[in-house]
């Protein structure tokens, strides 16, 4: 979800409000220099060295990249991980069947032997952050084209990464900041054996589901539990039966103290992406192009999935994670558009750009450097807007909508080898094995009947909404041959393709032939859209390069114009720190929201006829008996709470910490009224929705009876 880097005041402070400490996603590397004094004033009791150190264990060593898009934290000496339920959802789903429905029933391991290996799941620990701007930009000149500049930086980055990982087990990433004006090297130690330990049923972990998503008041127990395993010498290792729980370098103690308004709250995690320094042109693009298209396409996709999932339990399990992933940002884009309009973000951006233009015009030297920045951005968007329907519909409707088309991509390398006059059979065997493995994973969570419907619907959407001159010619052939009946075409594709079920795929791979592949209707369809997409990308590429140049110079100029202020960089899925307070809010006239929710609210929302609001019998029994153990507060069970921390997607699962560095909750959402937050921070409205750690412990202990996990934790009163 959100926070970042290397300087303070945001560009939005020039608008209608003063920047404040709770805005910003800061690099922990610079805490001592930039944030520490303010954090102490707000209630931090740790030293900067206790937050980030490369010489000693520190908080950073307990914070992980969980999988590929979330955050997690180590909470025991034995590698135990807490993260969000929605972050662990696909892993929980991967272990679920109709007979062992861990999504509906939950899962709890009481011994190490019961913990479930989850192939492909990784835990990445940050080792260090290093400023490599000079090395990354070595040899880069103002005379270079943007493409030449990018190639040189890529070459430099590979060299930097190689030099810093040689002789180690680390992975390295050189990452741009401030739109390519600065570069930092991040070293990671990546553990590849991560196992499922515990998960509440969806009636707790996803309580409220799509209806309550992004909303407050919230009553979701959004957590799951995993564990990092290592070799016997505590090093990263691929899964092996002989691996053992990792011995943690650092883990977070857990606080069950009562929280009050104004209490210090800090979040460390991996916010995915913000564009706080985007221009008004980018806001207009989001409102008029990108967001409406994504919402329209996903609405249709979700309708199809929802119908088939409701009709068949096995389909529900297979598509649970796919549905959740699509639905999450479907609603997000709806809220973002609403927020951008209501909060006047376009006008505020325009006001800043006018100030920037006036600043440029007062100095010839500035004009020589920056005068084309904003015009270049506007010019770039003219072309990007023109082709956006083709780009967005290809991504959302075709490649992320029609599974059989996406699956066809697995055969690309094999097709190239088979097309040669004398295919190398060793290579063919290797590629065949790879495709076979990919097929097994693919068909595990696949329902052909659903994909037939999806193919027909997505092709129809694409045909109707993408300008004809930007469509693959093959689509018009289909339309004419089948007289516009894409359902009939889809049925025929699935009746003739080698890719529709595991038996056909195995038969094809037993003796793969180029001739058979080239005649396959699914392959032909994939190649048609792939070629068209490449063509569109080539037409848009010069404009994307012009946009990159304009954004880089605009960012450089902004920092020069506001030289007396410290900027924080946009989120880019690198470790960030954000700090603020536990806080309530008032989103509108006569509406005041409390900063906590309780189990009372869960019971008030119960609706047995609605799967989003089912309450488990045992939870009702515990509630009726007020059996909250040491986790209750004045006869209540707190479920969620609010802070004004600055977060965004990727921060899901991040630890919410008090001034002593103790875990008080897990961040899992932003609030509906501030969905414009990726473009503009709204201090009066922006809130982080957190599941209270006491509710997490209550569910583990009193609901699940997994006292083995409770005994691992350092719980502080």
**What is the 8-class DSSP label of residue 557?**
H
pLDDT at 566: 85
pLDDT digits (tens, 9 = 90+) for 348-372: 999 999 999 999 999 999 999 999 9
Helix (H, G, I), strand (E, B) or coil at 219: coil
- Domain count for the chain: 3
Domain membership flag for residue 203 = yes
Q: Is 652 noted as a catalytic residue in this protein? A: yes
On whether both 142 and 91 belong to a single domain, the answer is no
Domain membership flag for residue 1 = no
Distance CA 547, CA 613 (A): 45
Q: Indicate the residue among 190, 215, 238 that finishes a domain.
A: 190
Q: Is 408 noted as a catalytic residue in this protein? A: no
pLDDT digits (tens, 9 = 90+) for 40-99: 999 999 999 999 999 999 999 999 999 999 999 999 999 999 999 999 999 999 999 999
On whether both 532 and 602 belong to a single domain, the answer is no
| Residue in 500, 652, 654, 676 annotated catalytic | 652
Residues 6+ apart with CB under 8 A from 76: 248, 251, 712, 713, 714
Q: Confidence class of residue 11 from pLDDT cuts 50, 70 and 90? A: very low
Distance CA 475, CA 68 (A): 34
Closest residue by Cα to residue 199 from 307, 320, 340, 47: 320
- Write phi, then psi, for 642 (nearest 5 degrees): -115, 145
Distance CA 305, CA 315 (A): 9
On whether both 418 and 287 belong to a single domain, the answer is yes
On whether both 285 and 388 belong to a single domain, the answer is yes
pLDDT digits (tens, 9 = 90+) for 168-187: 999 999 999 999 999 999 99
pLDDT digits (tens, 9 = 90+) for 192-204: 999 999 999 999 9
323, 382, 463, 530, 610 from 389: Cα distances, Å: 23, 13, 11, 15, 36
By the 8 A CB rule, do 64 and 575 touch? no
**What is the 8-class DSSP label of residue 410?**
G
On whether both 439 and 324 belong to a single domain, the answer is yes
Domain membership flag for residue 564 = no
Parallel, antiparallel, or unpaired: how do β-strands 264-269 and 715-716 relate?
A: unpaired
On whether both 301 and 410 belong to a single domain, the answer is yes
Domain membership flag for residue 348 = yes
pLDDT digits (tens, 9 = 90+) for 641-652: 999 999 999 999
pLDDT at 15: 30
On whether both 108 and 243 belong to a single domain, the answer is yes
Domain membership flag for residue 562 = no
| Residue in 86, 124, 543, 669 annotated catalytic | 86
Phi-psi region of 538 (alpha: psi -120 to 50; beta: other; left: phi over 0): alpha
Domain membership flag for residue 559 = no
pLDDT at 565: 86
Distance CA 419, CA 514 (A): 6
In the predicted structure, residue 12 carries a pLDDT above the cut 70: no
Q: Is 563 noted as a catalytic residue in this protein? A: no
Question: 486-496 vs 521-561: helix axis angle to the nearest 10?
Answer: 110
Domain membership flag for residue 389 = yes
pLDDT at 6: 33
Q: Calculate what percentage of the chain has a pLDDT beyond 70.
A: 97
Owning domain of residue 148: 131-190
Closest residue by Cα to residue 669 from 639, 684, 685, 649: 649
Report the CATH number that the domain containing residue 69 is assigned in CATH: 2.40.10.120
On whether both 530 and 608 belong to a single domain, the answer is no
Domain membership flag for residue 44 = yes
Residue 315 token pair = 């389909």
On whether both 588 and 692 belong to a single domain, the answer is yes
Closest residue by Cα to residue 125 from 262, 281, 236, 265: 236
Contacts of 464-470 with C-beta under 8 Å, sequence gap 24+, read 465/293, 465/296, 465/389, 465/393, 466/389, 466/390, 466/393, 467/389, 467/390, 470/387, 470/389, 470/390, 470/532, 470/536
Least confident of 17-31, 136-150, 307-321, 332-346: 17-31
Q: Indicate the residue among 551, 584, 614 that finishes a domain.
A: 551
| Residue in 193, 222, 669, 701 annotated catalytic | 222
On whether both 462 and 425 belong to a single domain, the answer is yes
Residue 419 token pair = 């097309």
Average pLDDT over residues 404-415: 96
Residues 6+ apart with CB under 8 A from 115: 109, 195, 196, 197, 227
On whether both 373 and 511 belong to a single domain, the answer is yes
Average pLDDT over residues 482-489: 98
Q: Calculate what percentage of the chain has a pLDDT beyond 90.
A: 96
On whether both 83 and 220 belong to a single domain, the answer is yes
- Pick 584 or 12 by higher pLDDT: 584
Q: Which helix (H) or strand (E) holds 116?
A: strand 116-117
pLDDT at 18: 35
């Amino acid at each position: 979800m959100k926070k970042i880097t290397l300087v303070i005041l945001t560009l939005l402070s020039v608008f209608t409000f003063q920047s404040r400490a709770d805005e910003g996603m800061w690099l922990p590397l610079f805490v001592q220099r930039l944030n520490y004094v303010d954090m102490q004033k707000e209630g931090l009791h740790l030293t900067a060295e206790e937050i980030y150190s490369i010489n000693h264990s520190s908080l950073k060593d307990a914070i992980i990249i969980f999988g590929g898009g979330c955050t997690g934290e180590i909470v025991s000496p034995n590698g135990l991980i807490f993260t969000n339920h929605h972050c662990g959802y696909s892993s929980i789903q991967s272990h679920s069947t109709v007979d062992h429905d861990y999504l509906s029933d939950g899962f709890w391991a009481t011994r190490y032997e019961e913990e479930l290996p989850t192939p492909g799941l990784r835990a990445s620990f940050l080792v260090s952050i290093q400023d490599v701007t000079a090395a990354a930009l070595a040899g880069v000149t103002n005379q270079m084209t943007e493409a030449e500049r990018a190639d040189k930086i890529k070459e430099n980055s590979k060299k930097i990464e190689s030099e810093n990982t040689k002789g180690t087990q680390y992975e390295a990433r050189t990452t741009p900041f401030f739109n390519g004006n600065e570069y930092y090297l991040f070293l990671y130690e990546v553990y590849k054996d991560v196992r499922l330990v515990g998960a509440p049923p969806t009636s707790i972990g996803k309580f409220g589901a799509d209806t309550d998503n992004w909303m407050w008041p919230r009553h979701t127990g959004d957590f799951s539990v995993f564990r990092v395993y290592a070799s016997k010498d505590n090093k990263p290792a691929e899964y092996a039966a002989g691996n053992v729980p990792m011995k943690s370098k650092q883990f977070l103690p857990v606080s069950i103290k009562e929280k009050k308004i104004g209490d210090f709250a800090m979040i460390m995690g991996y916010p995915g992406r913000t564009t706080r320094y985007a221009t008004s042109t980018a806001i207009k693009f989001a409102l008029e192009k990108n967001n409406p298209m994504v919402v329209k396409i996903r609405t249709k996709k979700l309708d199809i999935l929802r119908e088939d999932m409701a009709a068949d339990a096995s389909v529900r399990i297979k598509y649970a994670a796919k549905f959740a992933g699509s639905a999450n940002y479907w609603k997000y884009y709806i809220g973002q558009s609403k927020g951008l309009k209501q909060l006047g973000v376009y006008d505020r951006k325009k006001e800043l750009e006018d100030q920037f233009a006036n600043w440029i015009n007062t100095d010839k030297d500035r004009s020589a450097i920056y005068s084309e920045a904003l015009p270049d951005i506007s010019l770039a968007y003219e072309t990007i807007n023109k082709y956006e329907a083709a780009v967005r519909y290809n991504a959302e409707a075709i490649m992320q909508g029609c599974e059989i088309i996406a699956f066809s991509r697995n055969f690309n390398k094999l097709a190239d080898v088979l097309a040669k006059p004398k295919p190398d059979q060793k290579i063919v065997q290797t590629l065949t094995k790879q495709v076979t493995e990919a097929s097994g994973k693919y068909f595990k969570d696949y329902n052909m009947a659903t994909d037939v419907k999806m193919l027909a619907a997505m092709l129809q959407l694409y045909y109707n909404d993408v300008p004809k001159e930007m469509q693959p010619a093959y689509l018009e052939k289909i339309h004419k041959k089948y007289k516009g009946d894409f359902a009939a075409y889809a049925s025929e594709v699935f009746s003739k393709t080698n890719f529709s079920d595991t038996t056909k795929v195995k038969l094809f791979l037993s003796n793969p032939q180029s001739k058979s592949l080239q005649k396959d209707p699914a392959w032909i369809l994939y190649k048609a859209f792939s070629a068209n997409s490449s063509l569109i990308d080539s037409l848009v590429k010069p404009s994307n390069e012009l946009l990159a140049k304009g954004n880089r110079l605009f960012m450089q100029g902004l920092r020069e114009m506001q030289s007396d202020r410290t900027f924080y960089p946009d989120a880019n899925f690198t470790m960030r720190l954000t700090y603020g307070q536990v806080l309530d809010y008032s989103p509108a006239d006569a509406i005041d929201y409390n900063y906590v929710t309780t189990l009372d609210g869960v019971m008030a929302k119960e609706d047995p006829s609605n799967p989003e609001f089912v309450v488990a019998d045992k939870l009702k029994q515990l509630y009726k008996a007020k059996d909250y153990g040491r986790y209750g507060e004045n006869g209540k069970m707190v479920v969620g709470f609010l802070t004004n921390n600055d977060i965004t997607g990727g921060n899901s699962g991040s630890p919410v910490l008090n001034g002593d560095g103790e875990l008080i909750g897990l961040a899992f959402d932003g609030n509906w009224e501030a969905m414009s937050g990726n473009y503009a921070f709204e201090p009066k409205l922006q809130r982080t929705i957190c599941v209270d750690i006491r509710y997490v412990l209550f569910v583990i202990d009193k609901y699940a009876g997994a006292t083995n996990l409770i005994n691992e934790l350092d719980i502080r009163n």
